[in-house]
Structure 1
Amino acid sequence: MKKILLISDTHGYIDKKILKYCQLADEVWHAGDVGDIKIIDQIKKLKPLRGVYGNIDNNEIRNELTKDCIFICEKMKVWITHIGGYPSRYKKRVNDLLKTKNIDLLIFGHSHILKIIYDKKNELLHINPGAIGRHGFHKKRTMVRFEINKKTIENIEIIEFDR
């Protein structure tokens, strides 16, 4: 079983509260718009990091992270990418890849809107953790914590902070 902390859209901001949650996880996953390479460095000092770059990220971050991160965690196939849409409204590139990759857990960032949706058509769980940074229109900063036990997601927790 692995404990995962899922964050996105830091936009150059991370604080001690977020880093405390990083310490409690086995791995930290970042769904893009990191905003500052120092955030990657800070997280990697604490825990293993899997992540993707977002549309605001510079070349330094793009050299460190990829556009797509597809991997197996426990027995679950995970795909993280920054921009992709939502179930029934995925971008064409997402739909095309879903046809060939047999994904169990699909993670996006970008919208700053927290969503956890079961996609019946593709038989996968879609998560967007919202934005944990201070930049944007969101009223609450959010991240998601959960456990992966073989091929099951358990104990999903939404963590909220005031702006």
Structure 2
Amino acid sequence: MKSMNVIIVSDTHMPRMAKQLPEVLRKELLGADLIIHLGDWQTKDVYEELKSYAPVTGVYGNVDEPFFIEHFNEKLVLELESHLIGVTHGHGKGKTTEQRAISQFKNENVELILFGHSHIPLHKEYEGRVLFNPGSPTDKRKQSHYSFGKLNVKANQPLQIDHVFFMEK
């Protein structure tokens, strides 16, 4: 049974926070079947670079240029190997980023909610769903490490998702 290797990134904020994607991320992208970006790409160059590795999908964030608003949605439900995955950036007013992400999919039967915006890595279960924020590979703010996510998808198997933490950007 083939598995699908998905790399999850968010909040790249390029070129403001980095001139290029970190080497550890670029190495992981070489084996990607799909890349999901959770918004705040900042410029189209990030999209162009990512799609040179693998197909790219995702959502726009609150600091993205018009290209992203024209070509991506604020929210997305992906079906990968019969798994439903909710994708959003998580920005907005009121509530926490996590609460906004959850509320965007309250009427959807997703098993995994991917969101960004806060730059704070998160991996937890909430009411039978997995919530996952990959953090940022280029702008760790007050976090100890830069980070992104790796998702392994197989039909009829539980989703496997983990953070990749690293120090050098």
TM range (shorter): 0.7 to 0.9
More helix by share: 1
Cα distance in 1 for residues equivalent to 2:144 and 2:119: 10
Give the one of 20, 25, 38 matched to 1:31.
38
Residues in 1 aligned to 2:109 and 2:104: alpha-carbon distance in whole angstroms: 11
> Which ranges of structure 1 fall in alignment gaps of 5 or more residues?
none
> In structure 2, what is the equivalent of residue 109 of structure 1?
116
Which one of the candidate residues 146, 149, 156 is aligned to 1:141? 146
* Normalised TM-score (structure 2): 0.82
The Cα RMSD (Å) is 1.9
Shift of 1:94: 4.3
Q: Distance in 1 between matches of 2:102 and 2:12?
A: 23
Equivalent residues in 2 for 1:4-153, closer than 5 Å? 4-12=6-14, 13=18, 14-83=21-90, 85-86=97-98, 90-91=99-100, 94-95=102-103, 97-98=105-106, 100-119=107-126, 121=127, 123-134=128-139, 136-151=141-156, 152-153=158-159
Query: Does 143-152 or 73-82 show the bigger shift?
Result: 143-152
Give the conservation status (yes or no) of the 8 Å contact 2:8–2:36. yes
Please name the residue that 1:160 is paired with. 165
The one-character-per-residue Cα deviations of 1:5-46 (angstroms, maximum 9, x if unpaired) are 111110014234322211111111111110121110111121
Does the CA-based 8 Å contact 1:31-1:107 persist in structure 2?
yes
* Structure 1 residue 150 displacement after superposition: 1.8
* In structure 2, distance between residues paired with 1:136 and 1:61: 24
Q: Comparing both structures, which one devotes a greater share of its residues to strand?
A: 1
TM-score by length of 1: 0.85
Q: Percent identity?
A: 22
Partner of 1:130, secondary structure, is coil
Deviation at 1:61, TM superposition (A): 2.3
Letter in 2 for 1:95: S
**How far did residue 58 of structure 1 move?**
1.4
- Counterpart residue identity of residue 50, structure 1: T
Shift of 1:4: 1.0
One-letter amino acid of the counterpart of residue 80, structure 1? V
Matched residues, number: 155
